[in-house]
Structure 1
Amino acid sequence: MESQRTPAILDYRNENGHGWSFYKNDGILRTIDTTIEDDKELIRKVQKFELRDDDMMIAAYPKCGTHWLWEIVNMLRAGNSEYNKKTKGFAMLGMPMFDRADELPSPRVLNSHLNFRHLPEKMAEKRIRTILILRNPKDVSVSYYCMINGFKDSFGFDGTYSEFLDLFLEGKIPDGTYADYVKDWLQVKRNQPDLPVLTLFYESLKKDPIKNIKMVANFIGVSVSDELCEQIAEACSIKKMRTADAQVKEQIFKLSENWKGGQKGIYRKGEVGDWKNWITVAENERFDDVIERTFEGTGIVFMYD
């Protein structure tokens, strides 16, 4: 039975006051956006969310390609390269108003940054097909920082990238440690062998989109032609997805803030290896040490360029 005591508040702001305060929900760091009870209730609602038999899930740590993959999977299920008129925010479990997912027609492509234990309780029972997409931690850290820096009003972080990197490497950021998230999913795959999970790498999808789109199609049980895969790959380029978000899609959240550099929207560069423009030699050595220690034994090998 869950303790009724108020969880301890963990103040992980740095000496400059940059950072966040958290509490732990079932061992997972959660930011305190309103109150602890409100957040705990949000998680409870997600866990009780009613899944449909033909739902599928995209699971990803932030900035690992969730939007990109969500568009690809929707197109594969539709059998064409037309954009879903909704944004993935309508189908994102764990965000405010996530219950708007009930408005979506079947088959739904749900998505979430939540750990498995905070996802709907019937994920395994219903054998919900899940794609776990991973990205190299260095590009993740840069993309994450650019998002929170671009949306300062939402994330409340005014620090530099170097300050953010310190917090990122220590797991003192929203969504916690990247390695812990990955290892949690690897444990799920061991503990829930009946849950169909495909692990996909952002860099592989970038390097050979046709091959990887075909692999996704095979996993979700749809037949595709080379021509359709090429059309989907082209439609899901960063430039075209950015245009579609602005001109085609109904937004569940009004993102009025701008990305760093004045670029409006959720998409930045989508490149592999942009971390080299941000991380110093000393920071890179420290990063490599943390990656080696925290991902030891996982068998995960990341691509950095």
Structure 2
Amino acid sequence: MISMEGGRTPEILDYRNENGHGWSFYKNDGVLRWFATTPTDDMKMLREVQKLELRDDDVLIAAYPKCGTHWLWEIVTMLRAGNSEYSKKAKGFAMLDPPNFEEADELPSPRVLNTHLYFRHLPENLVEKKIKTILILRNPKDVSVSFFNHLNGVKLSHGFDGTYSEFLDLFLEGKMSNGHYFEYAKDWLQVQKDHPDLPMLTLFYENLKKDPLKNIRTVADFIGVSVSDELCERIAEACIIDKMRTADKGKEHKLYRPDVWKKGHQGLYRKGEVGDWKNWITVAQNEQFDDVIERRLEGTGIVFTYE
């Protein structure tokens, strides 16, 4: 990367396809970054994120976009509160990512923070303070479909007006903000190896979907809160997608406003199902996807559930 300290502007990488669909990025420490204003501003904000002072009782959720961040954040927030009431604040206010990271810094303790950032872009005292960190992974085929529908539905400048087939080409090549999903997953798994003193829990979206009570209790044990079976059941019921969609309508955050989304789009929450990719991916695309998964995840031990 060309650093801002070197006095030079980073190279802009134009990854739009022949139809003009896609994005332009710059590269920061090997990671493709979409920029709302300029690369220089984005790099400045990332350095400010790295300098944030985490608190001993923080819990951090790390996830690539569309892997269940909202779902898990609401669950953890309820567990820490000891009830199944929805947070009055939206998840976006607790996000460490630019440009709204300062809102998270101003939240009162105890905080449930969340991020799509790579470890190297997060606060430098994350390991020192032994912040309890939960990584949630989701099968990449459903991630691609969910991410496409999100970006295809949003009116913001980083939206996507092309077809799913066009989007999938970009997704499999890692020409996305935050780069390749597989690199993101591998990077966080490497963090666990490099920093054994950092308390980390890895969850899979599909397991949480299949057995929410068991996984909610696993999360509760990890963050150190005592819960009853009844509370776990209430939280699981409160955090089904239709109820979260309704609950979030009254929250103050730009991504919950209907005017941010194209007409007819459901907003942040779509189906939340496992296996919906079968309605989108052709046989040929699936073979291509499987090839990329096999190559990219070789030796990681990651096994995804696809239905």
* TM-score relative to the length of structure 2: 0.95
Do 2:138 and 2:304's aligned partners in 1 also have CA atoms closer than 8 Å?
Answer: yes
Pick from 104, 112, 122 the counterpart of residue 115 of structure 2: 112
Distance verdict in 2 for CA 1:254–1:38, change over 3 Å: farther
Task: Quote how far apart the aligned CAs of 1:136 are.
Answer: 0.1
- Alignment RMSD (CA, Å): 1.6
Residue 273 of structure 1: aligned partner:
275
> Partners in 2 of 1:226 and 1:114 — Cα distance?
33
Do 2:150 and 2:267's aligned partners in 1 also have CA atoms closer than 8 Å?
Answer: no
Moved more, 208-217 or 145-154: 145-154
Is 1:244 aligned with 2:243? Answer: no
The residue matched to 1:153 in structure 2 has which SS? coil
Moved more, 47-56 or 1-10: 1-10
Task: Quote how far apart the aligned CAs of 1:253 are.
Answer: 4.8
Residue 51 of structure 2: aligned partner:
48
The residue matched to 1:224 in structure 2 has which SS? coil
Do 1:139 and 1:272's aligned partners in 2 also have CA atoms closer than 8 Å?
Answer: yes
Task: Quote how far apart the aligned CAs of 1:140 are.
Answer: 0.1
Moved more, 206-215 or 155-164: 155-164
> Partners in 2 of 1:142 and 1:40 — Cα distance?
29
Distance verdict in 2 for CA 1:253–1:166, change over 3 Å: closer
Do 1:148 and 1:155's aligned partners in 2 also have CA atoms closer than 8 Å?
Answer: yes
Residue 285 of structure 1: aligned partner:
287
Q: Which amino acid in the other structure matches residue 45 of structure 1?
A: E
Q: Which amino acid in the other structure matches residue 136 of structure 1?
A: N
Task: Quote how far apart the aligned CAs of 1:95 are.
Answer: 3.3
Task: Quote how far apart the aligned CAs of 1:153 are.
Answer: 2.9
Residue 32 of structure 2: aligned partner:
29
Task: Quote how far apart the aligned CAs of 1:254 are.
Answer: 5.6
Do 1:87 and 1:245's aligned partners in 2 also have CA atoms closer than 8 Å?
Answer: yes
Residue 153 of structure 2: aligned partner:
150
Task: Quote how far apart the aligned CAs of 1:251 are.
Answer: 2.4
Q: Which residues in structure 2 correspond to 1:68-107 (within 5 Å)?
A: 68-107=71-110
The residue matched to 1:154 in structure 2 has which SS? coil
Task: Quote how far apart the aligned CAs of 1:27 are.
Answer: 1.1
Moved more, 23-32 or 159-168: 23-32
Moved more, 177-186 or 145-154: 145-154
- Provide Cα deviations, 1:50-98, integer angstroms capped at 9, x if missing partner: 2111011000000000000000000000111011100110010113222
> Partners in 2 of 1:190 and 1:199 — Cα distance?
13
Residue 218 of structure 1: aligned partner:
221
Task: Quote how far apart the aligned CAs of 1:130 are.
Answer: 0.3
Give the gaps of 5 or more residues in structure 2.
none
* TM-score relative to the length of structure 1: 0.96
Pick from 130, 136, 140 the counterpart of residue 127 of structure 1: 130
Distance verdict in 2 for CA 1:278–1:34, change over 3 Å: same
Q: Which amino acid in the other structure matches residue 278 of structure 2?
A: K
Task: Quote how far apart the aligned CAs of 1:103 are.
Answer: 3.2
> Partners in 1 of 2:116 and 2:259 — Cα distance?
22
- Provide Cα deviations, 1:136-157, integer angstroms capped at 9, x if missing partner: 0000000000000000333242
Q: Which residues in structure 2 correspond to 1:176-215 (within 5 Å)?
A: 176-215=179-218
Task: Quote how far apart the aligned CAs of 1:257 are.
Answer: 4.1
Query: May I ask how many residue pairs the two structures share in their alignment?
Result: 304
> Partners in 2 of 1:254 and 1:244 — Cα distance?
10
Moved more, 177-186 or 260-269: 260-269
> Partners in 2 of 1:154 and 1:204 — Cα distance?
34
Distance verdict in 2 for CA 1:260–1:302, change over 3 Å: farther
Do 1:217 and 1:223's aligned partners in 2 also have CA atoms closer than 8 Å?
Answer: yes
Do 2:49 and 2:123's aligned partners in 1 also have CA atoms closer than 8 Å?
Answer: yes
Do 2:155 and 2:261's aligned partners in 1 also have CA atoms closer than 8 Å?
Answer: no
Task: Quote how far apart the aligned CAs of 1:158 are.
Answer: 1.2
Q: Identity of counterpart residues, as a percentage?
A: 73
Moved more, 151-160 or 126-135: 151-160
The residue matched to 1:299 in structure 2 has which SS? coil
Do 1:87 and 1:252's aligned partners in 2 also have CA atoms closer than 8 Å?
Answer: no
